[in-house]
């Protein structure tokens, strides 16, 4: 059959199926009954399934419902295609005119998807009309109120400035430069105390042209999309390695990058929107502008399409985070970074990941898990700053079990784009041999630098640490007394929860007479490599350096998760590993906790509390474990490294 004939037949079948599909019936009279006092308003969104404007509106209304469940509910009227939606509009013309026409003549002439109305407001319009409604001024009360209700104060009407003489001379009590996790947390906390707050967040596009919405690195190009893509890889691993042994008979499973990307990006955009709503609700002014200091209290705000303006603030918090370090080789600009991979529509294909950081290994891991050919090029050690015993085990697992190729002791010499669109990468091996290979994608993950170059810090007297390039602070206060810094821009753990906690505590000290300081010690973290790693406290190397080898005892054990025990495709007993590092001079106080295995983040989280409280080895093994779990292994640790005995587990 010719392609044109086959296409015609397919379209005919689609039309026939649409005609056979029951037409959703909408009782407009019932949907327009006013909500009773205290009941949420129902927002109705009608449109056809493949329409991006219908999907966007449905997502926005869904986000509002999640934020304000007491005020908003969502009801979708979804049609299989454009023709079915238009047929419904035509069939409903009389009902639409009868119920909406008198109050809003637009309803009778509205023919595009979506068609939106609410029982508290009548006809709203399409996608742009719905977004405009939510942007015009949002509160829980206004969402459920009739359309004729008095307008809510707009986002411009933020809380008044503090009454003290100093604050009265400035436009804002606080300006936060950076709309990432730390900056948003700090700004919202300050607003709780009646302060007039502004958040500046302009995302400079990456060299590859990628930009994103409000929320910073974690939400847009970091923790959130990384964890979701890691989860996709884990699902594939379960399908291929475990499903048959557990009795499941599944057909051929294929991976589709476009589908995953659409799902991840859709979720991220919903978070971007929720953040804007939260700022408006808490009366924090949001400006999509880049801020640069003119002096300690004055900033010039700039946007390439909006021009410049000047504002003043009594206090300023720098929370701009970091950006990927450029790849230092000829053609390095042809490489993408973690700022791009989570938004890149082009399928990665055969990929070279350059770097040994957790970003590099995590990206390599999920790409390999999706079925792509992945090579990692590392200059020196893996996971610098982490326990090197654990880092070596991660590298071994990725090479032997994940089948990821590693090229060690080298860096790229050059990258060139071929006529085919592929990238030719050249390097010199550790033995001095000239080498080259072609890749579809080169992902640069060699590190991140603080994003301070455009801030004009010198004009405000803000000093940098010359060794790291990060803002020098004491308890988040910079060398200029009214300017503060939090998050990845300072010399502190580059972790989202750390920035959030530091931002909140700083706001409380500034505006609520609080005294609690941020404790950067004993912070848990996890690395989402193919075999996950969770840790808290000191590495084995740092413990020996700090306490002396004679005062360090390491309890450890290899183990196999029960969930891995049925499949021959899973690795052997020595793959997963735990160790607890103790200070023998202080009753075997636990100073380091390390776990390599499934669900590392979930297993490790509660350990942070135990370490803050100063738990000992005897207290740990005195806990009654939950059986059968991987976490219970910490209640049965007996073998020490110094004994030389086998660390392999036995029994159940």
Conformational region of residue 446, where left means phi above 0, alpha means psi within -120 to 50, and beta covers everything else? alpha
Q: What pLDDT was estimated at residue 154?
A: 28
Go through the chain and tell me how many residues it has: 652
Q: Rounded to whole angstroms, what are the CA distances from 115 to 76, 404, 419? A: 10, 50, 47
CATH number of this structure's domain 332-446: 3.50.50.60
Reported as a single tens digit per residue, the pLDDT across 194-220 is: 999 999 999 999 999 999 999 999 999
* Token pair listed for 55: 């999907």
From the options 1.10.150.130, 3.50.50.60, 3.90.1170.50, 3.30.70.920, give the CATH code of 165-324+450-511.
3.50.50.60
CATH number of this structure's domain 25-144: 3.40.30.10
State the Cα–Cα distance between residues 181 and 179, nearest whole angstrom: 7
Q: What pLDDT was estimated at residue 135?
A: 62
Catalytic choice (44, 77, 303, 627): 627
What topology is assigned to 532-643 in CATH?
A: Enolase-like; domain 1 (3.30.390)
Q: Specify whether 627 is catalytic.
A: yes
Question: Going by C-beta distance under 8 Å and a sequence separation of 6 or more, which residues neighbour residue 582?
Answer: 552, 553, 554, 555, 588, 589, 590, 591, 616, 617
Q: Tokens 């803002």 sit at which residue?
A: 471
How open is the CA angle 419-421-426, to the nearest 5 degrees? 85
Q: Residue 324's CB: how many other CB atoms inside 10 A?
A: 24
Give, to the nearest 10 degrees, the angle between helix 127-135 and helix 52-67: 30
Q: Is the peptide bond before 622 cis (omega within 30 degrees of 0)?
A: no
Residue numbers in the chain where pLDDT is lower than 50:
1-4, 6-8, 10-11, 13-15, 17-21, 137-141, 147-168
CA 498 to mean position of chain CA atoms: 14
Are 190 and 505 in contact by the 8 Å Cβ rule? The answer is: no
Q: What pLDDT was estimated at residue 573?
A: 65
Fold matches, 165-324+450-511 and 332-446: yes
Question: Where are the chain's structural domains?
Answer: 25-144, 165-324+450-511, 332-446, 532-643
Q: Rounded to whole angstroms, what are the CA distances from 122 to 106, 110, 397, 612? A: 11, 14, 59, 55
Q: What pLDDT was estimated at residue 186?
A: 99
- For the chain, how many helices (H) and strands (E)? 21, 26
Q: What pLDDT was estimated at residue 371?
A: 97
Exposure on the CB side of residue 557, measured as CA atoms within 13 A: 16
């Amino acid at each position: 059959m010719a392609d044109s004939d086959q296409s015609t037949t397919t379209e005919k079948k689609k039309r026939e199926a649409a005609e056979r599909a029951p037409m959703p019936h909408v009782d407009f009279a019932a949907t327009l009954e006013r909500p009773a006092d205290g009941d949420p308003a129902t927002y109705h969104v009608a449109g056809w399934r493949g329409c991006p404007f219908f999907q966007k509106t449905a997502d926005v209304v869904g986000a509002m419902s999640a934020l304000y469940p007491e005020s908003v509910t969502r009801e979708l009227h979804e049609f299989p295609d454009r023709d079915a939606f238009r047929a419904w509009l035509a069939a409903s013309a009389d009902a639409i005119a009868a119920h909406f026409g008198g109050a809003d003549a637009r309803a009778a002439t509205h023919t595009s998807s979506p068609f939106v109305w609410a029982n508290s407001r009548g006809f709203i319009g399409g996608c742009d009309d719905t977004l405009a409604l939510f942007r015009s001024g949002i509160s829980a009360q206004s969402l459920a109120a009739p359309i004729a209700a008095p307008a809510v104060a707009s986002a411009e009407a933020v809380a008044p400035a503090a009454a003290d003489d100093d604050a009265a001379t400035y436009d804002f009590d606080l300006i936060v430069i950076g709309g990432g996790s730390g900056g948003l947390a700090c700004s919202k906390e300050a607003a709780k105390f009646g302060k007039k707050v502004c958040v500046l967040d302009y995302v400079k596009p990456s060299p590859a042209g990628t930009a994103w919405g409000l929320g910073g690195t974690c939400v847009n190009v970091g923790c959130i999309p990384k964890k979701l893509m890691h989860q996709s890889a884990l699902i594939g691993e379960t399908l291929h390695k475990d499903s048959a042994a557990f009795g499941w008979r599944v057909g051929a499973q294929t991976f589709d990058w476009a589908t995953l990307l659409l799902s991840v990006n859709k979720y991220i955009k919903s978070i971007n929107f929720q953040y804007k709503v939260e700022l408006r609700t808490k009366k924090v002014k949001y400006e999509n502008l880049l801020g640069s200091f003119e002096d300690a209290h004055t900033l010039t705000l700039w946007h390439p399409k909006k021009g410049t303006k000047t504002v003043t603030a009594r206090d300023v918090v720098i929370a701009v985070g970091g950006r990927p370090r450029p790849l230092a080789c000829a053609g390095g600009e042809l490489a993408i970074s973690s700022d791009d991979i989570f938004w890149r529509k082009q399928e990665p294909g055969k990929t070279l990941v350059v770097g040994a950081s957790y970003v590099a290994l995590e990206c390599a891991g999920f790409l390999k898990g999706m079925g792509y050919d992945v090579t990692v090029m590392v200059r020196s050690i893996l996971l610098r700053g982490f326990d090197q015993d654990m880092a070596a085990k991660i590298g071994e697992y990725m090479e032997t079990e994940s089948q990821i190729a590693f090229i060690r002791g080298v860096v790229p010499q050059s990258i060139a784009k071929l006529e085919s669109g592929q990238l030719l990468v050249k390097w010199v091996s550790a033995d001095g041999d000239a080498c080259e290979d072609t890749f579809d994608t080169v992902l640069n993950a060699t590190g991140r630098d603080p994003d301070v170059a455009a801030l004009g810090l010198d004009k405000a007297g803000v000093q940098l640490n010359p060794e790291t390039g990060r803002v020098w602070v004491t308890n988040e206060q910079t060398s200029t007394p009214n300017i503060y810094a939090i998050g990845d821009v300072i010399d502190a753990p580059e972790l989202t929860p750390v920035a959030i906690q530091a931002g909140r505590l700083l706001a409380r000290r500034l505006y609520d007479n609080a005294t609690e300081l941020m404790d950067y010690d004993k912070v848990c973290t996890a690395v989402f490599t193919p075999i996950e790693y969770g840790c808290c406290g000191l590495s084995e190397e740092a413990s020996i350096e700090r306490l002396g080898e004679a005062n360090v005892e390491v309890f450890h054990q290899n183990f196999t998760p029960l969930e891995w025990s049925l499949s021959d495709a899973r690795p052997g007993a020595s793959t997963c590993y735990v160790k607890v590092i103790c200070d023998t001079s202080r009753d075997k106080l636990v100073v380091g906790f390390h776990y390599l295995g499934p669900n590392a983040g979930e297993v490790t989280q509660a350990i942070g509390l135990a370490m803050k409280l100063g738990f000992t080895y005897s207290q740990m093994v005195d806990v009654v474990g939950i059986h059968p779990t991987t976490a219970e292994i910490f209640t049965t640790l007996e073998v020490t490294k110094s004994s030389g005995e086998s660390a392999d587990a036995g029994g159940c």
